[in-house]
Amino acid sequence: MLKEFEPLFSRPVQPVAIGEHVIELLPNVTRQKPHSYSVPMSYRREVDRQVKELLDLDLIEPSNADVPYPIVCVATKDASIRMCIDYRALNAVTKVSNYPMKDTQELIFTAGMAQWLSCLDLLKGYYQIKMHDENRVLTAFSTHNGVYQWKVMPFGLSGASGTFQKIMNNVLRSHSSYAQAYIDDIIVHSKTWDEHLIHLRNVLQELENEGFSVKLRKCTFAAKELQFSGHKIGGGKHAPGEEKNCGNKTARKAKDEKGSVPCTDESQCGERQKCVGEEGEKTCQCDNGLGGENCGIQEWCEKTRKFENCKGENGKCEYSREKRSVVCTCATGKKLHPEENICKAVPCTGESQCSEREKCVGKEGEKTCQCADGLSGNDCEKNDWCEDPGKFKYCKGENGKCEYSKEKRSVVCTCATGKKLHPQENICKDGCSTDKDCPETQKCVEKYGWKTCKCANGLSGNDCEKNDWCKETGKFKDCKGENGTCEYSKEKRSVVCTCTTGKKLHPKENICKGKIEY
């Protein structure tokens, strides 16, 4: 049967022909342009990849919208990045959908009475629903590389779950006695094996007719029991189970009356959440400084919040996974005031008042402690000059070593043996101080303040093996035979002409002559 419906399980996500999502704005309201968040440099490559993937799938398109909404990058448990869109400002002026959601308790009771169960998981379910053409511009979002809008229904919109539930109810209407959908999960339940084969085929055919896509590896077929929404159902009974749906997919957790997810430890919370509270009353709460759905909003960075002045020339406000908190990283030369939460310069009169990675700089009476040359960060812990775009980015491996020097109060490049740091290129190259540092066919030559070994006068080639001045067209072309000998002199580090007895080298013509007249 699965081979018969292979296109259903193999086609990429695409919008179906039935239904679309409509955004109905409240009357007499004007949409305000929301506060934008900069995408961290470390996330930009992944954001570009995800945007390209959505464009290739024809799920989004470039937009000229005047009011785009910001994206928020959320780190998941597997260390990947999920690109979310902050639609709070749009949802605030959107008419609330009143479409009733499926009662999970009723679904659990009905399906639990069955002897055979199958669970189907739609591939990126929301993306299979079209956006109303006139509403596409309302879904616009901005990244560091441009503005785009959705051609399908994105996550995060008010009323999106109601739209999806309504469409799925319509799709399964003629099969409602043995198939129900809860958002993007469809449960097919039957009393006998023969009935189940018929019921499952009917549902798969309905999905195929409408052009849906199903994620095969997340489906469960012909099971006696299923895990659904924290219950183990099947065989005429149900019991407490794992928080899993269908193919071992994490179920949507029920929230308490305050909208919080109960927990006993942090493993039950999201990546940006912690389990806090008194024993027996613990709930998953956003890490310090975070808020919004999935804790994707860095609230402490917004206006009137804790680090509102930590931006621009003062510093950078961002979430730290290591510290489980939103933090303020002050700009070079400034430190975070512990009470005012503002990045300020620390005054000093000498370096003894600064840390070992700082130096005291500035005009007399206006000196402040600032990170030593090449360092940055609140504690000057970052060696900027050693990083990829930094000053000494090539000072590594066989070339040399980039590190901070307490003695010099600066990040320095220590070149490997036999190499010297080029003063302009900041690259470790083969350098020299005198001719003795060079091979015998080369000499130490200075150019632009940099000394390097080059072929001695009159020589050329990779190994300086060619005597150019002795060639037919060279400087000493006539210095041969009865006139003299053309050869390289190690002592003089140059090709020379040694005239025969009784002759001298003409200083202008470079020819050996018997008598030289000026």
Last residue of a domain, one of 355, 370, 385: 370
Residue 55 to residue 75: CA distance in whole angstroms: 22
Question: 3-state class of 21 per DSSP?
Answer: strand
Last residue of a domain, one of 336, 370, 404: 370
- CATH number for the domain including 178? 3.10.10.10
Q: Are residues 308 and 324 in the same domain?
A: yes
Helices (H), 260-381: none
Q: Are residues 198 and 315 in the same domain?
A: no
Q: Is residue 385 part of a domain?
A: no
Q: Are residues 266 and 311 in the same domain?
A: no
Q: Is residue 174 part of a domain?
A: yes
Q: Are residues 160 and 221 in the same domain?
A: yes
- 275 within 8 A of 263, measured Cβ to Cβ: yes
- CATH number for the domain including 482? 2.10.25
Q: Is residue 437 part of a domain?
A: no
188: exposed, middle or buried (Cβ count in 10 Å: 0-12, 13-18, 19+):
buried
Q: Is residue 183 part of a domain?
A: yes
Last residue of a domain, one of 370, 397, 420: 370
Nearest CA-CA partner of 142 in 79, 87, 80, 75: 87
Q: What is the pLDDT of residues 429-480, one digit of tens each?
A: 777 888 888 889 999 888 767 788 889 999 998 889 999 999 988 899 889 8
> E strands along 338-492, which residues?
343-347, 358-361, 368-371, 375-376, 382-383, 400-405, 410-415, 419-421, 428-430, 442-447, 450-455, 459-460, 466-467, 484-489
Residue 507 is part of which domain span? 469-517
Number of domains in the chain: 4
Q: What is the pLDDT of residues 342-391, one digit of tens each?
A: 887 778 888 888 888 888 888 887 788 888 899 887 778 888 899 878 88
Confidence of residue 309 (pLDDT cuts 50, 70, 90): confident
- Strands 283-286 and 261-262 come out as antiparallel
Q: What is the pLDDT of residues 214-254, one digit of tens each?
A: 988 888 888 888 877 667 887 777 666 555 556 445 444 44
Q: Are residues 39 and 130 in the same domain?
A: yes
Q: Are residues 287 and 351 in the same domain?
A: no
- 141 within 8 A of 30, measured Cβ to Cβ: no
Q: Are residues 184 and 119 in the same domain?
A: yes
Q: Are residues 213 and 342 in the same domain?
A: no
- Does an H or E element contain 161, and which? helix 160-171
Q: Are residues 274 and 153 in the same domain?
A: no
Q: Are residues 25 and 147 in the same domain?
A: yes
- Predicted pLDDT at 279: 58
190: exposed, middle or buried (Cβ count in 10 Å: 0-12, 13-18, 19+):
buried
